[in-house]
Amino acid sequence: MKNGLIEANKGILKKIFSEEFWFIVPQYQRPYVWQEENIQELIDDLYYAFENKQNSEYFLGALVLKRTKEEEFKEYEILDGQQRLTTLCMMIAVLRDLMKKPQYKWTLSQMIYQEENELLRVPSRSRIKYNTRDKVKDFVKDYIIPSGSTRRKEIVKFHESTNISVANMSKAISVMHEVFAGKDNLEAFAVFLLNNVLFIYVSTDNTEDAFRLFTILNDRGMPLSNSDILKSINIGEVGEEDLDEYCESWEYLEEKYNKSFDRFLSFARTILLKNKPVSNLLDEYEKNIYKKGILKKGKNTIDFLIELDQVYDAIIDLNDKELSNEYKNLVTIMKIGLHSDEWIPALMSYFIKFKYYNLDEFIKRLEYKFVGDLMSNISPSKRRENLNNIIKTIEIINESTIDTLLDNKELFDIDKNIFRNNINGEVYGKKYTKYLLLKIEYLMSDNAVHLSDYKEISIEHILPQNPPKKSHWTKDFTENQRKLWTNKLCNLVLISNKKNVKLGNLDFKKKKEEYLKHRMDVFNNSKILLDKSSKWDEATLKSRQNTLVNMLVNNN
């Protein structure tokens, strides 16, 4: 291949797993993430083709490769296709261990590993070399390469490995054995696999061209995420001397945020641009961040994301010891109770510029504005505009003028009448019901301790939704009164574990006793309210409703 030339061709599996190709999974690649259903589906599809279309080619997609400088071997870094190649490598190893014919076993072994031959000066070499963590290399060495290794019983202990790749690879091997155990004609299937299954591969020895090609193929339908493409764009701009360091940084972010990584990247976009997106995330970075010189591709982008992650870790994940319990509790209930996280970039922007200076006051105003807009049915577009106006104002002020931000009614005021009307009606079943009850707990608390991040929270009616006909509830309330009050704030309490339906229809006195006995873990301020209430009637509900609504509207 001439320098800079892009080569495109197709290759059946026996060619791809031959001396013409030696593969490297570079450090910037994501872990092996295929799940059991992916393995099952691939084998089912391959077997269907084997049984019904034996004379046809089976296309497995495209490989995007970068030729290395290694002259002795035809060695390629895998830019796209490592999940499929790793799966097929394991499948070849499993088939090898299921074959009875020695020739089949030997041939399949040679496809995944070249044994050393001193006489011919041939070194030992794996078909796929993983330039990732040592645990992956060790697993491949012990449970894929040796003949019979995929049948070792102890492989199941790796199913719970903390290394994502090792856990998924061990599960994949187990699934393959389980699926192939129910299949016939394995030897004939192996012949079909090696001679009919093919890839289209494109390769170049120029790093920039290779990553550009990786991106172009995504635009043509390859199933890559925004973060995958941004990784290719940015890692492709990092020099060889710093590649390992920046690959590790990107991989750290990928593993930390997992499926939410694109969301984290969108937070970064908002902090940088301070406006609502007008295109997809990739176009936003290319056209509005890179072309306008706000960030440079490569080290500059990755350094910025790492710094942003440190801010997120401090004030959103709440790992900063200098944060007050009041701040932590408000952020905690926002994370638990709100179905939108669009408030996060504004909070991060404030902390980036002012750190702890009036941070408690800022989060209170931000929460009040965001929640007020959310529960007053303000459109998503207008809510984002309001948040971006806060970020823009943060950019132009300094510590000496910070009071102009915190006292800015235009930025933080809400329509209190709409807000009051919406929360004064039936709220049970709304997206924000849980949040309103959490906010009441927050406002009634002295915030002496950090509120637990409850994993399970249920909403309980005091006056039941469907009380028994002969209960005290039907004597104390008319049917119209029950319809009016049952689903309002005043009749609802939070419990921090699964709802005990057996208590739901008890009369108030008995229900109160069970709550206070800790049969149900009622939130503290709801528990105090129940303890002080001697009865639960319409007068109690009216008074409680007025108190709670005023508390939320006035935010104190």
Which phi and psi angles does 115 have, rounded to 5°?
-75, 150
**DSSP E strand stretches across 450-509:** 458-461, 492-495
pLDDT(502) > 60 = no
Phi, psi of 2, rounded to the nearest 5 degrees: -75, 150
Tens digits of residue pLDDT in 26-73: 866 778 889 998 999 999 999 999 999 888 899 888 788 888 876 666
Can you give the pTM of this predicted structure?
0.67
Average pLDDT, the chain: 86
DSSP element (H, E) containing 326: helix 325-337
Cβ contact 295:411 at 8 Å: no
Residue linked to tokens 């197709």? 10
**Domain residue extents for the chain:** 7-219, 226-315, 325-414, 457-554
pLDDT of residue 222: 43
More confident residue, 289 or 536: 289
The pLDDT tens digits of the residues spanning 160-197 come to 988 888 999 999 999 999 999 988 889 999 999 999 99
Q: Could you report the per-residue pLDDT of 246-298, keeping only the tens digit for each?
A: 888 888 898 788 778 999 999 999 999 999 888 888 889 999 999 999 999 99
Tokens 């009441």 belong to 440
- pLDDT given for residue 519 in this prediction: 46
User: CB under 8 Å to 176, separation ≥6 — which residues?
Assistant: 39, 43, 90, 91, 94, 150
